[in-house]
Chains A and B, each alone.
Chain A
Amino acid sequence: MLLFIVRDFTLAFGALFYLLTIRPTKTMLVQSVSFVVIPSCLLLIYVPQLIAIGYLFIAASWLFYSFKKNVITIFDVIVVLMLMVFSDNLAQLINNQLNTHSVLFETLWFILCFISLSILYKIFIKKRLYLLLLPFKIQLLLIFIGSLTLIMFYLNVFFLGVQDNKALTTANFFIQIIYIVLVVLAVSLFIKGLQQMQMIRQKEIAQQQFFDYMQALEQVNTDMQKFRHDYINILMSLQDYIENKDLQGLQHYFYTDIMQMEQQTLFQSKMIGTLENLEVVELKGLLSSKLLFANRLQQKLVIEIPQTISSVRMNLIDLTRVLGILIDNAIEASVEIANSVVHVAILHSHEQAVVIIIDNPLQDANLNISTIFDYHASSKGEGRGIGLVNVEEILKNYPNVTLNTRIDKQYFIQELQIF
């Protein structure tokens, strides 16, 4: 009995640390043993097993949630507990089939099944789930479905599995298999739908940004026509001021009337000028929307594109997401600093490689640069660090893209190189 408990706990915790890619520290192990293992063992002895397992589930969920601070970890706890039941059944079945009625063999089969199932889960499902960045509601839904399934599994084990019946175990096992296949199918269809929805949303954003850019372009065009139409009038009134030698009046007229009126046009035509060399429509849309955004916040944003950029070797949805996050961060950090300028440049380095540089002045020079990609590290409070985590997640999929993050002479500089 004790041996079984040790086996199960070691496997379960090992799997959880593996799935969540946590390298267990001493304190974590002590916490696991004292809050989860010992209490559930005691419960196993003194109260009905079902309650003990319930406690185990809740305590383990809470513990791993506190390690990772991420709701989806609970889902992994559920999966591990489910895999245990499933492997147990599978081991029994194999044992029965092979007619080796020794406990040792069954344990061996159990461990083998459990480990391989955990690895399969991590490789094929967990990674994809993590990349999706599921909305919180969906995460809760997944956990809810998982908990229900878990409860059904254990009820099933306790009400039917008590009698050691070969036929019943087999039937049970097949029911479980069918159930799991159905759930996996349903969830994967659901995730696929979500993925498509996210992609469509990204495309919509890109389209909207490009539309804004087109509108700005059109505005400049009409303004220019209007200007051409009025400029004779403007010249006449300027002449009036000059003939009367009314320098003050001229100044006033020029700066308040003409310049004010034309400021928007000037800004827009300047913006179109800067993006002239950029032939990648999606990026053009993104950068123009960032220029408009910075202009609204009265933050100076200078974009340099000295040569024609016609293609970039990266999925454009991913690239616009990454650049969007990096530029937003740069703008947000600079708004608080007076007279600050955010610089962005897109350059060709050798051959087809593209370098994108984003830099902004820095207020706090003591930033620990190696921690800014941590989930919770953000100089501006909770939740803000998530952007950079997303950047790192996206870039992990590109072996041809590197990102440098550094501080140089009070500037925070990010260099994205796409080879």
Chain B
Amino acid sequence: MKIVICEDDVRQRKFLQSTIIHSSLFQYEDVEIALVASNPSEVFTYLQDNRADCFLLDIELQHEINGLELANVIREKDPLATIIFITTYADKLRLTFTYKIAALDFIVKNEPNLAENLIKTLQIAYQKHQSIHTQNIGKHFQMKIGEYVKLIPFEDIYCFATSANSHKIKMQEKSGVYEFFNNLTDIEQQLDERFFRCHRGYIVNLQQIQKIDITMRTITLKNSSICYYSLRYKKALMKALSSTSTIIFE
């Protein structure tokens, strides 16, 4: 994991550098500090012919290009790079960090446990870096909101449903309801065997079914929302469900 530090204050820069070098993280062979810059232009020049995995940026850089714009440039070059902000604006720009540049985290400057927070965040970045290389994202559904990518584990998803009058798909999961543009056939391709297309307008998670009403042809899910199934999928649905015995039929 190549780390780039961009910080205008000399003391702060030295502090960041030494914290990283003396941390346990630095013992991994593939962790290195690739660049320590005092202003964004240096980072730009570096990015011309090099790349890095993790960027530590000071948001209040006294330069014509601020940290936010620098982050945008980095994102354009490398959508998977990890960006961590160091800032004094505690949470003035929290949502911007998350949604605009998908920053991994931001670290508040004038806090006593700055070094500790920094190492903790870098460790998360390192894990993320490792998982990118092992391609371990098969069991999640990806949602992009702005630049922020939300990974939703398959087991948390209840169902996908088309909305009545547009190409919007509505997805329900344990902690949220999401809308996005797509079609169910394409979504089906991204899912695994626990999902079942039970209707022209519905895909359900078989493991989230609570009960099935055969007369009304409805499926009640564990979050008590209701989906329909159509006759032509009935046989396949029953077959797919035969392995699970906890479902109530009515």
Contacts and interface: CB of A to CB of B under 8 A. Distances in A.
A96 interface: no
A302 interface: yes
B223 interface: yes
A341 B177 CA distance: 23
Interface in B12-65: none
Interface string A289-321: 000000000000010101000000000000000
Interface in B138-195: 143, 145-147, 158, 163-168, 172, 175-181
Contacts of A368: 223-224
B246 interface: no
A357 to B, nearest CB: 5
A22 to B, nearest CB: 12
B99 A347 contact: yes
A31 to B, nearest CB: 15
Contacts of B91: 302, 341, 343
Which 6 pairs show the lowest CB-CB distances between chains A and B? A406-B176, A345-B95, A402-B179, A399-B166, A349-B146, A355-B146
B223 to A, nearest CB: 5
Given A355-B99, A373-B177, 5 more contacts: A347-B96, A369-B175, A402-B168, A408-B176, A415-B146
Q: B interface, how many residues as a size bin?
A: 20 to 34
Contacts of B172: 369-370
A97 B158 CA distance: 56
A116 to B, nearest CB: 21
Contact of B145 (A302, A341, A343, A404): A404
Contacts, number: 93
B94 interface: yes
Contacts of B163: 396
A405 interface: yes
Given A357-B99, A369-B175, A399-B165, A26 B145 contact: no
Interface in B210-231: 215-216, 218, 223-225
A25 interface: yes
6 contacts: A304-B96, A306-B93, A343-B91, A396-B163, A404-B179, A405-B177
Nearest to B218: A23
Interface of A: 23, 25-26, 302, 304, 306, 341, 343-345, 347, 349, 355, 357, 359, 368-371, 373, 396, 399, 402-408, 413, 415, 417, 419
Given A25-B216, A304-B96, A403 B179 contact: yes
B147 to A, nearest CB: 7
Contact of B95 (A343, A373, A417): A343
Given A402-B179, A407-B175, A408-B175, A355 B145 contact: yes
B100 interface: yes
Interface of B: 68, 91-96, 99-100, 143, 145-147, 158, 163-168, 172, 175-181, 215-216, 218, 223-225
B176 A369 contact: yes
A25 B225 CA distance: 15
Given A26-B215, A355-B99, A406-B176, A349 B181 contact: no
B176 A407 contact: yes
Contact of A399 (B100, B168, B176, B177): B168
A304 B145 contact: no
Contacts of B180: 402
Contact of B216 (A26, A403, A404): A26
Contacts of B175: 369, 406-408
Chain B CB within 10 Å, residue with most, of A26, A402, A408: A402
Contacts of A343: 91, 94-95
Contact of A357 (B95, B166, B176, B218): B95
Contacts of B181: 402, 419
A347 B100 contact: yes
A357 B98 CA distance: 10
B99 A371 contact: no
B68 to A, nearest CB: 6
B95 A369 contact: no
Given A26-B216, A304-B96, A399-B167, A370 B223 contact: yes
A345 B176 CA distance: 19
Chain A CB within 10 Å, residue with most, of B99, B146, B178, B216: B146
A419 B132 CA distance: 29
Contacts of A415: 99, 145-146
Contacts of A341: 91
A369 B171 CA distance: 12
A304 B106 CA distance: 16
Chain B CB within 10 Å, residue with most, of A355, A406, A417, A419: A406
B216 A23 contact: yes
Contact of B176 (A344, A359, A405, A419): A405
B100 A302 contact: no
A371 B176 CA distance: 10
Contact of A417 (B100, B145, B147, B167): B145
A415 B146 CA distance: 9
Nearest to A408: B175
Contacts of B218: 23
Contacts of A345: 95-96, 99
Nearest to B165: A396
